[in-house]
Amino acid sequence: MQFRVGDGLWLRLVDVGAALSGRAYVRDGSIVFEVRDAVCPWNEGRWKVEDGEAARTDADADLGLDASALGSAYLGAVSFAELRDGRRLRVLRDGAVERADTLFAWRPLPWCPEIF
């Protein structure tokens, strides 16, 4: 018997605003994402998550990332610190990674027992 870790669930955010507004957050707070998306250009731009709601904004961004990276962090199993360390996001404001990780922390973590 051996242990193996692999992807079992992938997520693609098609509507960033609805997706970010539709999830629960550990506590109130705010973060601004500068989202790039070559597949769904309507997702591109700055999105502010504040007190559980997401909306477009002209405010300065805290983190810059591709929609695929945001999809990785969306369910909570991949942290923004891991995305930063993997060079999957740009830190645009000091402390933003820690703030995003605090907002997006969620238990229980996602789990997919099936490979489909």
Exposed/middle/buried for 27, CB within 10 Å: 0-12, 13-18, 19+? Answer: exposed
User: What is the rounded CA–CA span in Å between residue 81 and residue 86?
Assistant: 8
Q: Kindly report the average pLDDT of the chain as a whole number.
A: 90
Class of domain 16-104: alpha beta
Q: What is the pLDDT of residues 58-100, one digit of tens each?
A: 999 999 999 999 998 998 888 999 999 999 999 999 999 999 9
* Total Cβ atoms within 10 A of residue 71: 18
Query: Average pLDDT of 40-45?
Result: 97
| Selection from 109, 116, 84, 90 nearest residue 26 by Cα | 109
Locate the domains of the chain by residue range: 16-104
The pTM of this model reads 0.87
